[in-house]
């Protein structure tokens, strides 16, 4: 499983990148607004993130247009920001059509706001490089977000979508809208390719009280041998 950071906060990205386990970043309009971002500075901000994480780490930047041609135009502009920029497109009819066209141009798309197996299958067939099923938001409406991700992973793994994706790359499922380390555990067990996590969850993933107690006792005992 790969870990992406779900944030637009440059300090969080720098910190997480320094830990050595970061494989990408996902952003969305809410996350950009949360760091005080403004429309005029959006592409520069994405460029800075792409630069911080380096060319091997995909950085998803979301389109907000509602019609196919505008999504296409915005997607081309976002993809041109850096070689590792990925265009994030909502799962909707116009989004599918734009994804097909972007993929045909060699532009990688992350289809977001995906909640069901049929949505995921359509996204994969339209050439999405990534599909992002949301866990927390599904839980919020009393559905089972984890079960949906498990279903989506199982369904997409029944088929080979490589002929559909850019450069024949493997289509990957990004478990998104993650709210806890346990979500990450469950997604890893079900074989999700990627978990995109908020920085707060990433910090919690490192910790365990027995690890901390073990470090403390080893350090104390080491004092005895000096």
Residues in touch with ligand E4P (CB under 6 A): 6, 26, 28, 112, 132, 134, 136-137, 176-177, 196
Please report, for residues 113, 167, 198, the alpha-carbon distance to residue 9 in angstroms, rounded to integers and kept in the order given. 21, 31, 10
How far is residue 72's CA from residue 177's CA, in Å, rounded to a whole number? Answer: 25
**Is there a catalytic annotation at residue 88?**
yes
- Written as six digits, the tokens of 18 are 């320094």
Q: What's the min distance (Å) between Cβ of 151 and ligand E4P?
A: 18
Q: What are the DSSP calls for 97-108, one per residue? A: HHHHHHHHTT--
Write down the least CB distance from residue 139 to ligand E4P, Å. 10
The three-point CA angle 23-209-139 to 5° equals 60
What phi and psi values does residue 35 have, to the nearest 5 degrees?
Answer: -95, 15
| Least distance (Å) between residue 211 CB and ligand E4P | 27
Q: Give dist(CA 102, CA 104) in Å, integer.
A: 5
Residue among 14, 38, 88, 226 flagged as catalytic = 88
Name the minimum Å distance from CB 159 to ligand E4P: 23
Q: Which residues are catalytic, by number? A: 88
């Amino acid at each position: 499983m790969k870990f992406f950071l779900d944030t637009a906060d440059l300090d969080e990205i720098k910190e997480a990148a320094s830990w050595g386990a970061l494989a990408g970043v996902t952003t969305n309009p809410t996350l950009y607004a949360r760091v005080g971002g403004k429309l005029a500075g959006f592409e520069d901000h994405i460029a800075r993130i792409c630069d911080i994480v380096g060319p091997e780490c995909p950085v998803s930047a979301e389109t907000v247009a509602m019609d196919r041609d505008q999504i296409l135009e915005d997607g081309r502009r976002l993809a041109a920001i850096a070689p590792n920029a990925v265009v994030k497109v909502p799962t909707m009819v116009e989004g599918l059509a734009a994804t097909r066209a972007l993929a045909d141009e060699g532009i990688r798309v992350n289809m977001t706001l995906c909640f069901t197996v049929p949505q995921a299958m359509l996204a994969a067939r339209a050439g999405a490089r990534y599909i992002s099923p949301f866990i927390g938001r599904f839980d919020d409406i009393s559905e089972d977000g984890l079960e949906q991700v498990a279903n989506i992973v199982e369904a997409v793994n029944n088929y080979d979508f490589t002929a559909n994706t850019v450069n024949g790359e493997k289509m990957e499922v990004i478990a998104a809208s993650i709210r806890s380390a346990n979500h990450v555990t469950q997604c890893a067990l079900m074989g999700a390719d990627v978990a995109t996590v908020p920085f707060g969850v990433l910090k919690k993933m490192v910790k365990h009280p027995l690890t901390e107690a073990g470090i403390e006792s080893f350090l104390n005992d080491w004092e005895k041998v000096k």
